[in-house]
Amino acid sequence: MVDSGVPLRVVSYNVHGQRDDTAALAAVVRQVAPDVVIVQEGPRRFRWRAKSATLAASLGLVVAGGGLPALGNLLLTSLRVRVTGVRHQRYPLTPGRHLRGAAYADCVVGTGARFTVAGSHLATDPAERPGQAQLFKRELDAAPYPVIAAADLNDDPGGPAWRTVSRGLTDAAVAADRADRLTYSCANPRRRIDAVFVDPRISVVDYDVLDTPLTRRASDHFPILVDLRLPAVD
């Protein structure tokens, strides 16, 4: 195990619009005590600010950014993490399809280790996904600090959108030799369409897809849990 750098625990979770067992959802996240949660399908409509704050509080976290401006992508943090900047992105709308977007937050943790966390949820339409992946990747490449990016890509490893987003980054599942852990669906696990990618300067200490009775009640996606070490501050 890597013994230098600043530890950071990250969860990526498509919460299915909180349409399932919300008590189970809260218990799943609280049990692993993450520093950062990257949410897909979070609140994005009426009273989205209050709903986002309620979701964050249920998980023992605070809202860093996202919600309606990022079309349901929500970034939550523990009080250990300080957020210094937030940006949102909306992808072009294809008529008749859902609006999609992304959220980005620049953060500081520990004695000054900086990172940029990003989250997105790409389209189910294979004609839309590649363009959205390119827009997401452009922002990741422009991030001021080492990137931690999580997404429901709606694409399989090796697919066009997956290749675009992962270029130059480390696939945390591959780094931990756990790329066989499937993320969707909880009812019939058959695909790995959810992923966490990190800057090569960030070490992947551990990676898991949490398949438990609670997670099978909480959403239609399994959450990803990743333990990282950020580059040590000089």
Q: What is the pLDDT of residue 3?
A: 54
* Cβ-contact 6, 110 below 8 angstroms: yes
Q: What is the pLDDT of residue 128?
A: 94
Please give the mean pLDDT across all residues of the chain: 96
CA atoms of 41 and 120, how far apart (whole Å): 9
190 has a pLDDT exceeding 70: yes
Mean pLDDT in residue range 125-129: 94
Q: What is the pLDDT of residues 32-46, one digit of tens each?
A: 999 999 999 999 999
Q: What is the pLDDT of residue 147?
A: 98
- Per-residue pLDDT band for 30 (boundaries 50, 70, 90) equals very high
Helix (H, G, I), strand (E, B) or coil at 129: helix
- Per-residue pLDDT band for 127 (boundaries 50, 70, 90) equals very high
Q: What is the pLDDT of residues 46-63, one digit of tens each?
A: 999 999 999 999 999 999
79 has a pLDDT exceeding 70: yes
This prediction has a pTM of 0.96
* Cβ-contact 210, 24 below 8 angstroms: no
Q: What is the pLDDT of residues 84-122, one digit of tens each?
A: 999 999 999 887 788 999 999 999 999 899 999 999 999
CA atoms of 179 and 167, how far apart (whole Å): 17
What percent of the chain has pLDDT above 90? 93
What are the sequence ranges of the domains in the chain? 6-230
- Per-residue pLDDT band for 187 (boundaries 50, 70, 90) equals very high
Mean pLDDT in residue range 153-167: 98
233 has a pLDDT exceeding 90: no
* Cβ-contact 219, 7 below 8 angstroms: no
What percent of the chain has pLDDT above 70? 98
- Per-residue pLDDT band for 1 (boundaries 50, 70, 90) equals very low
Q: How buried is residue 159: exposed, middle or buried, by Cβ count under 10 Å (0-12/13-18/19+)?
A: middle
CATH level 2 (architecture), domain 6-230: 4-Layer Sandwich (3.60)
